DNA sequence: TCAATTAGGTCGTGAACTGTCCTACATGCC
DNA sequence: GGCATGTAGGACAGTTCACGACCTAATTGA
């Protein structure tokens, strides 16, 4: 009656996303239309590529099942908050290959998230963000807001203003045209054209402060090496130290693989109950020491010396903490 | 022409969710309709409660902004995978108050996730799931699939069949009517009516194996105490041991709060650079020891003795691991 | 000032939507 | 084997609504 067809279709979609079965009569009742129209609407959804499965016979009904295309997700408040918090927690530490998509999804969600929910996400999110890094590491945590602002500006071709902290601690203001946001290991980088310096730069996102999009759009230039990721690697490689891990474990290779994060790679077996791991770690050995400690198996650091130092330091701290 | 109005509205919604501005002419071009119709469609979206902001003047355009209601999210493949993986990672360890919503959202997403994406989620997800618990703890990890199956069956009022491992290790098959899935601390519980035993039971989800919904729907009975959560507490409380933590830190209360997970509560300051924490821990002290180690500040275990033992054990292991 | 954009009114044509019939078919229960 | 209850879908009539074309007003940046 008063509600037009598109609105009704959206409402139907939201009802069908509930994990239960809906008999046509109940849908007709909820949508305030005849049963015939419900059947027609279901047909329309199927035409759109969202397969609605109908179980026939007595106490049959409709339910939305997996198809070729993902239907628009209709979320209630709590679910939206849960997703936002989950993505924020995951945005920082990354899941090996989907970091950029994760940030894109977060930016998309936060763009339309009602402000009352935004507050809840903020309070829950800050309580959680430390959970991922465990408060350890080198303190180079990134605010999820920063990532989403950068992602939005990048894909919207909007100029970006922020303050940047150089390696010597000096802060400068920058006006840039952002091109690509890249996640590499535990770090995020922004490849952008610096309008003040009049040249291309790679920025470490954890050193970016108070970013905001000016609203002015820009016409994309050509990236120097043709590929932003390549440019990032070329400019960053010389600066970032990396360490070659060498650790032996008193447990089977399978056991160790299961208990370590996948980014560590797989150890080679040196016996039924022992194995040896060679791996490359970005730049924070404190983080590596934590992960090794959390594995819950006996191990010995063969190298480098810096890692042994970190592990020893942590061990002494714990020994001190426990009264005999 | 060939595409009807509802489909076009959905497409428009998906375009506007991209974090950029769309001039009306481009939208008209993409949607294959006149500019007038685009304006009408935008009006329709606004009527539906999704505020489309238009910037006037030269190089103006439309973009979707935060409003009162959350619009249906239109995600591309990668974003959907990112969200699913993020939720899976978060589903197990929980974020203090939104665990149930998180699982609900995951169930909703997985219900309609195309199978090709499901595979990607599985491969990425298994690599990640161990990340949260770090492989430590008592090994009582829960497969995200288990949680989503239980959640779907619970909210869909479908009978549930699964195998259950009792405390003595014996596995039995159960046919149940699930009523509520509850997250308490690090554990998940399912309150259900056991059709074989003909009585109400609380199941620990980490001991549930191979759950699947039979498809048969059931009419809800009344939960014994009136509230499922209360029933869960009543049945579980006597079995689960809990410990009273007492730890002093050589750091400010604010610092310690920031570096510990929120479930630990807040310590009381005993000086400018020292504080004391009293807290109750569910049942795994190994986990508590890990979290304390990850805080990165000096501390001393005052009690209980079991915690001191765990911390000491971990400390000795690390000291052994580091060659002097 | 000019150009480019959103905003919105009106009108006529034609398509599309809805409800009310109708029949066919599948399933579970008695 | 019936019977109740559900989906599937065709035909039809009346109404509504969606679309494009054309118009004017208002806003903004160069």
Instruction: Give the span between the Cα atoms of A12 and A27, in whole angstroms.
Output: 8
Q: Taking CB atoms and an 8 Å limit, are B298 and A311 in contact across chains?
A: no
| Owner of token pair 């290959």 | A97
Share of chain A above pLDDT 70, in %: 84
pLDDT at residue B136 greater than cutoff 50: no
Question: CA(A24)–C1'(D15) in Å?
Answer: 25
User: Cβ of A105 under 8 Å from any chain B Cβ?
Assistant: yes
Contact B175, B210 (CB under 8 A): no
Detail the protein residues whose CB sits closer than 7 A to any atom belonging to strand C.
A 5, 8, 33-34, 36-37, 40-41, 56-59; B 4-6, 23-25, 35-36, 39, 42-43, 54-62
Query: Chain B residues with CB inside 8 Å of A246's CB?
Result: none
3-class secondary structure for A261-320? CHHHCCCEEEECCEEEEEEEECCCHHHHHHHHHHCCCCEEEEECHHHHHHHHHHHHHHHH
Instruction: Give the span between the Cα atoms of A79 and B90, in whole angstroms.
Output: 13
Across A95-109, A170-184, B43-57, least confident range: A95-109
Q: What is the pLDDT of residues B173-198, one digit of tens each?
A: 888 888 888 776 567 788 888 888 88
CATH level 2 (architecture), domain B243-321: 2-Layer Sandwich (3.30)
Nearest CA in chain A to B158: A20
Contact A208, A260 (CB under 8 A): no
As a whole number of Å, the CA-based R_g of chain B is: 26
Among residues 72-101 of chain B, which lie with CB inside 8 Å of chain A? 72-75, 77-83, 85-87, 89-90, 93, 95-98, 100-101
pLDDT at residue B294 greater than cutoff 80: no
Average pLDDT over residues A91-119: 78
pLDDT at residue A306 greater than cutoff 50: yes
**Position B282 confidence tier, pLDDT thresholds 50, 70, 90:** low
Q: What is the pLDDT of residues B233-254, one digit of tens each?
A: 777 666 666 778 899 998 888 8
pLDDT at residue A300 greater than cutoff 60: yes
Length of chain B: 324
More confident residue, B100 or A42: A42
Q: What is the pLDDT of residues A168-193, one digit of tens each?
A: 888 898 889 888 887 765 577 888 88
Which residues touch A237 (CB under 8 Å, ≥6 apart)?
Answer: none
Q: Please state, rounded to an integer, the average pLDDT across all residues of chain A.
A: 80
Confidence (pLDDT) at A324: 66
CATH classification for the domain delimited by A5-64, as one of 3.40.720.10, 1.10.530.10, 1.10.10.10, 3.40.50.300: 1.10.10.10
Confidence (pLDDT) at A184: 64
Q: Structure tokens of A195?
A: 């309008």
Q: What is the pLDDT of residues A263-272, one digit of tens each?
A: 677 888 898 8
pLDDT at residue A137 greater than cutoff 50: no
Nucleotides of strand C under 7 angstroms from a protein beta carbon: 3-10, 16-21, 25-29
In 10 A of CB A307, how many CB atoms? 24
Confidence (pLDDT) at A131: 34
Instruction: Write the residue in B69, B262, B314 that is nearest to A293 by C-beta.
Output: B314
Indicate the DSSP class of residue B263: G
The greatest distance separating any two alpha carbons of chain B, rounded to the nearest whole angstrom, comes to 78
CA distance to partner chain A, nearest, from residue B5 (Å) = 7
Which residues touch B313 (CB under 8 Å, ≥6 apart)?
Answer: none
Q: For residue A102, count CB atoms less than 10 angstroms from its CB and return exposed for 0-12, middle for 13-18, buried for 19 or more.
A: buried
Among residues 172-201 of chain A, which lie with CB inside 8 Å of chain B? none
Instruction: Give the span between the Cα atoms of A226 and A107, in whole angstroms.
Output: 26
| Owner of token pair 């350890």 | A136
Indicate the DSSP class of residue B267: P
Residues A198-235 as b/e (b if ≥16 CB within 10 A, e otherwise) read eebebbbbbbbeebebeeeeeeeeebeeeebeebbeeb
Domain residues of chain A, as ranges?
A: 5-64, 79-236, 243-321
Instruction: Give the span between the Cα atoms of A98 and B311, in whole angstroms.
Output: 36
Question: Containing H/E element for B139?
Answer: none
User: Cβ of B139 under 8 Å from any chain A Cβ?
Assistant: no
């Amino acid at each position: 009656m008063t509600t037009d067809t598109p609105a009704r279709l959206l409402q139907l979609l939201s009802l069908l996303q509930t994990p239960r079965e809906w008999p046509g009569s109940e849908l007709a009742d909820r949508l305030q239309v005849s049963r015939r129209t419900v059947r027609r609407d279901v047909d329309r959804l199927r035409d759109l590529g969202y397969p609605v499965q109908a179980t026939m016979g007595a106490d049959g009904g409709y339910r939305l099942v997996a198809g070729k295309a993902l239907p628009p997700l209709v979320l209630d408040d709590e679910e939206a908050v849960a997703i936002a918090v989950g993505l924020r927690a995951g945005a920082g530490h990354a899941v090996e290959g989907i970091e950029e998509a994760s940030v894109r999804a977060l930016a998309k969600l936060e763009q339309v998230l009602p402000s009352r929910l935004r507050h809840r996400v903020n309070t829950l999110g800050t309580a959680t963000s430390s959970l991922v890094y465990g408060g350890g590491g080198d303190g180079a945590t990134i605010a999820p807001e920063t990532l989403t602002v950068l992602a939005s500006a990048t894909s919207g071709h909007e100029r970006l203003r922020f303050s940047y902290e150089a390696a010597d601690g000096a802060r400068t203001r920058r006006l840039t045209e952002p091109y690509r946001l890249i996640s590499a290991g535990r770090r995020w980088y922004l490849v952008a054209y610096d309008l003040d310096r009049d040249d291309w730069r790679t920025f470490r996102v954890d050193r970016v402060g108070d970013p905001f999009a000016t609203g002015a759009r820009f016409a994309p230039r050509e990236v120097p090496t043709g590929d932003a990721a390549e440019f990032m690697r070329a400019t960053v490689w010389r600066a970032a130290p990396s360490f070659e891990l060498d650790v032996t474990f008193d447990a089977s290779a399978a056991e160790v693989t299961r208990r370590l994060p996948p980014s560590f790679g797989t150890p080679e077996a040196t016996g039924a109950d022992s194995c040896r791991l060679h791996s490359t770690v970005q730049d924070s050995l404190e983080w590596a020491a934590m992960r090794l400690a959390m594995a819950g198996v006996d191990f010995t650091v063969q190298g480098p010396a810096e890692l042994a130092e970190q592990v020893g330091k942590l061990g002494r701290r714990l020994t001190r903490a426990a009264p005999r």
